[in-house]
Chains A and B, each alone.
Chain A
Amino acid sequence: MVALDINGQAKPSGTWRKKLSGATGPLVGLLALCIFLGFSTDAFFSLRNGLNILDQITVIGIMAVGMTFVILIGGIDLSVGSVLALSMMVMGWTANIAGLPLGLAIAVALLASAVSGLIVGLLVTVFRVPAFIATLAMMSAARGVANMITDGQQIVGFPDWFMMLAIDRHFGVLTATVFLMLFVVLIAWLFLHYRAEGRMLYAVGGNPEVARLAGINVQFVTIAVYVVSAVLAGLAGIVLAARLDSVQPSSGFGYELDTIAAVVIGGTSLSGGAGGIGGTLIGVLIIGVLRNGLNLLNVSPFLQQVIIGVVIVLAVGAETMRRRRA
């Protein structure tokens, strides 16, 4: 980012700032939070606790990548928590009740998620239903289908290798699920930053009419983004299933709001066209570190909710102030 000073001269700011594209505020907040927790608790700065935090944020982290895409194009996706549950139940049913191999069941679950994303995408583009309404409807419908699959019952008992994905620390540090999240984040970052298709999301979010007149297929981009968001929510469901070693249709209740909070704390603008994965990763980490730290400090879960609410307001408020000054 190059700021203009008052005489029109260029004032180059550091390249590290450029890479984070507007996420400096959240990054400072995250560092301050870590330093505070490092002084006020003994357990915070330990490898073990760090790995715990990573384990805890995998589910939200994967969903937040899809949500970043959606919010970047100026949309919103309220259905991710329910799609996560749908994906879990489809996987559980296909593997344990229909008796197919678990690997195949995972593919079927992701396919089911993709279909729900496709329905949302078509509603938003072809039928011009506002994203808020379309995904609100999908939030209800997907949750309902998830419940119908087993009549609200949970399914337990998956192969050992599946559970180990979330437990076994490879090279002594990272589990397969954490690897998966980092991989998703890295791919998404490269995609948004460097791929032509990634830049299209910014164009569509910045102004859909400009994008259309520039020859970008706005409908296709929009549908694809909702499909990706749903598939990533489905993938998060698989990860959650591995972590819990069970699937239940009530999973992921309210996750959509945590996910949106993480994206917004990370500096992606709800009006679309500005933000990115770097910020979202920081937003997810802030929520993860905050929860972990507040637990270490024995803060009650109710008070934790209040604090997270305050953090959302502070993060977005600081970002708005920064933009106004710029």
Chain B
Amino acid sequence: MTQPVLTLRGISKHYGPLQVLKSVSLDVHPGEVVALLGENGAGKSTLSGIIAGSRAPSEGTMTWLGQPYAPATPREAIDKGVVLIHQELKLLPQLSIAENVFIGRWPTRNGVVDRAEMERRAQEQLSRLNLHIPASRKVAGLSTANQQLIEIAKALALDAKLLILDEPTAALGGAETEALFEQVRKLRAEGVGIIYISHRMEEIKKITDRIVVLRDGERVQEFADSATPVRTVVESMVGRSLDRLFPPVPVPTERPVLQVSNLTSAMNAFRDVSFEVHAGEILGIAGLVGAGRTELVRAIAGADPVKAGTIRLNGDVLKLRDPADAIAKGIVLVPEDRKDQGLVVAHKISENLIYANLDKLGSRWITAGLKKAFAEKAIATFNVKGRAEQHASDLSGGNQQKIVIAKWLMRDPKVVVLDEPTRGIDVGARAGIYDIIVNLARQGVAVIVVSSDLEEVLGVSNRILVLAQGNQAGILNREQANDVSVMELATI
């Protein structure tokens, strides 16, 4: 094989007595896609930070194209050709695509920015990615998928030889993911080395050449063949054998709880959607990004306005002006963006729990004791690894999500809507979330689960409602539903 672009030997990192990386070695060759897998906290982001120059290793050496490599700053790494693309996009929305691509290194002529040259060169990178948008356009208003591609164009303009993609598809739908993969394959063919971090096993199978698994800061295993069965890889990640990911789905009752008829969005995100959810039933909602899934469930939870149609709860027509109305009736939403809609991450767990229950604490005088007792009950009920006084930002994604769910379940809701309940949550913690969802149904709650992860929708739902471009494409029973039948409807 060719000389690796990057080699890591014995990379360790500790913060005080806490060791987050233990002697990790890794080679990345030109033209290969290496999957870096591991649960949250396994050390993936620390490792990519070290490669990209934002953190320094405590021990170990790196070489870049045969030369010793020890970037002190991200800038130094970028100059060498190492580009890390973050999970959260870091584009400036009010600037043009070209400006974003060349930010900090604008081409100049006679001391002034040469816009024509900049746009020409940016356009070149965009066409390399098959992106036919004028480079002079503002970033604001572009789809997440296109923004992701612009981040990649930015990396290409830097002449990247190694690209680190940190969960690039977290916000993408099926078709967009496919488009992204096409570009990744193209870059691979051009000889760019790629480190691919993701939680989605299906993608890993599709796009990567080999899999490196990290657990507790250690490189535990490598699978030379990315077609290794998912279960084997996951078991290596979590370090124990997994009996199952999805618990058995209970049989729903015949009693409809939520009846939605001809619901139409005031923002034109969806139209004429009608369905029922029975007590004890889990309804999955699938569709591509932009199909109106989130907007639909937000409307049901009173968070977005509707133009027409009715929502009935136990037969009564509801008039929902804001989330408070829906909550009062017993419809609660676990929103898609945990950190920006579900939790005030800078506040304590106990505080976050009471924000949704200020009227349910038995007293409007909230003493420290009342708060603590309430929080500890929630923490114990949902088996959260964390304490009442910890800040929400200190918890792992899975435990954060449990807090978001717990804050509602203390109210005995009738309808629970979960939008992307396991986004960014590692496989080991997912099973815990699925258990909670299924238990809700067992207790007779009507549950709605929206997810971009097809395996997840298929795994937990009794029925699946598929949206395509805001239209109801169909409802599939559990027996009829598989990835093909759902995707067929979603791409109508």
Contacts and interface: CB of A to CB of B under 8 A. Distances in A.
Contacts of A322: none
Interface string A76-110: 00000000000000000000000000000000000
Interface in B333-347: 333, 335, 340-344, 346-347
Contacts of A206: 344, 346-347
A313 interface: no
Nearest to B16: A6
Nearest to B347: A206
A1 B389 contact: yes
A310 interface: no
B323 interface: yes
Contacts of B301: 213
Given A7-B17, A206-B344, A213-B303, A199 B351 contact: yes
Nearest to A211: B355
Interface string B298-320: 00010100000000000000000
B322 interface: yes
B394 A210 contact: no
Contact of B387 (A10, A196, A203, A209): A10
A4 interface: yes
Interface in A195-253: 195-197, 199-200, 202-203, 206-207, 209-217
A194 interface: yes
A164 to B, nearest CB: 36
A255 B120 CA distance: 53
Given A209-B340, A210-B355, A214-B407, A194 B366 contact: yes
Given A195-B364, A195-B366, A4 B394 contact: yes
Contacts of A194: 365-367
Interface residues of A, number: 27
B361 interface: yes
Given A4-B390, A274-B346, A217 B322 contact: yes
Contact of B354 (A199, A212, A213, A273): A199
B394 A209 contact: no
- B contact patch SS: loop
Nearest to A220: B324
A4 B355 CA distance: 23
B346 A273 contact: yes
A215 B366 contact: no
A196 B322 contact: no
Nearest to B363: A196
Contacts of A203: 344, 347, 351, 355
Contact of B347 (A200, A209, A213, A273): A273
B242 interface: no
A297 interface: no
A204 to B, nearest CB: 9
Contacts of A10: 387, 389
Nearest to A193: B366
Contact of B340 (A1, A202, A210): A210
Contact of B324 (A1, A215, A273): A215
A314 interface: no
B16 A196 contact: no
Contacts of B327: 214-215
A238 to B, nearest CB: 29
B484 interface: no
B492 interface: no
A212 B303 contact: yes
A2 B394 CA distance: 13
Contacts of B328: 215
B366 A214 contact: no
A202 B322 CA distance: 20
Contacts of A197: 358, 364
Interface of A: 1-2, 4, 6-7, 10, 194-197, 199-200, 202-203, 206-207, 209-217, 273-274
Given A199-B351, A202-B351, A210-B340, 13 more contacts: A6-B15, A6-B17, A10-B389, A194-B366, A195-B365, A196-B354, A196-B359, A212-B322, A213-B301, A213-B335, A215-B327, A216-B324, A216-B358
Interface of B: 15-18, 301, 303, 322-324, 327-328, 333, 335, 340-344, 346-347, 351, 354-356, 358-359, 361, 364-367, 387, 389-390, 394, 407
5 closest pairs, A vs B, by CB? A206-B344, A215-B327, A196-B358, A214-B356, A215-B324
